[in-house]
């Protein structure tokens, strides 16, 4: 099943899917989001959500609420770094492109700030995705409900390490608003 999701993710990201296939794929994605927690499976589901968010509006919109609920539940997942990395990446992709509610964006920002101050995630992918997703989520709220002061110094150090200018800009924008 994970291999099939990875294939769908790859096809989605290179835009090989047709609009006629989106309803079926949305149905598959909805069923995947309802599967009990399996780290490998969730990692693939979140990768598909993130890939689809960038290129296939019609694929993600029907499952947006369920996707956001699942992502929020796994931003600081104990199921492994790869689940959390992909959840962060997908949340950042959704926040950048869809009308993520201010409540969901604030909850995501709160989770990310809490993990920035209490957990030590050693992988660079986790940290990169975390600072970008946090910035993108903050763009969705008028007034963050989370105190950002405990993470600003760490965030500024981490943002300077992100190589891609577009990703760095996305992360910075949320803190400037």
Task: Annotate 121-134 with b (16+ C-beta within 10 A) or e (fewer).
Answer: beeeebbbbbbbbb
Per-residue pLDDT 10s for the chain (177 aa) are 555 666 666 656 556 566 566 677 778 888 888 876 788 888 888 888 888 887 776 778 888 888 888 888 888 777 777 888 889 989 988 888 887 888 888 888 888 888 877 767 667 788 888 888 888 888 887 777 777 777 777 777 777 777 666 666 666 666 665
CB 54 within 8 A of CB 89: no
CB 80 within 8 A of CB 72: no
| Residues 129, 23: Cα–Cα separation, whole Å | 29
For CA atoms 130, 71, 43, 120, the dihedral sign is positive
CB 160 within 8 A of CB 128: no
What global pTM score does this model have? Answer: 0.82
| Residues 60, 177: Cα–Cα separation, whole Å | 27
CB 67 within 8 A of CB 90: yes
| Residues 113, 117: Cα–Cα separation, whole Å | 6
CB 172 within 8 A of CB 135: yes
Rg (CA), the chain: 15
């Amino acid at each position: 099943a994970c291999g099939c999701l990875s294939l769908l993710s790859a096809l989605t990201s290179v835009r090989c899917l047709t609009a006629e296939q989106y309803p079926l794929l949305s149905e598959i994605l909805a069923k995947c989001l309802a599967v009990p927690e399996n780290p490998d499976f969730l990692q693939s589901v979140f990768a598909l959500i993130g890939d689809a968010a960038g290129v296939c509006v019609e694929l993600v919109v029907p499952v947006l609420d369920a996707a956001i609920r699942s992502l929020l539940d796994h931003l600081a997942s104990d199921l492994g770094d790869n689940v959390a990395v992909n959840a962060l990446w997908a949340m950042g992709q959704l926040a950048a492109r869809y009308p993520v509610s201010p409540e969901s964006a604030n909850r995501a920002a709160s989770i990310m700030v809490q993990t920035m101050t209490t957990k030590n995630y050693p992988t660079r992918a986790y940290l990169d995705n975390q600072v970008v997703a946090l910035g993108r989520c903050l763009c969705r709220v008028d007034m963050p409900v989370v105190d950002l002061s405990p993470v600003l110094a760490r965030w500024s150090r981490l943002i300077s390490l992100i190589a891609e200018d577009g990703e760095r800009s996305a992360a910075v924008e949320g803190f400037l608003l």
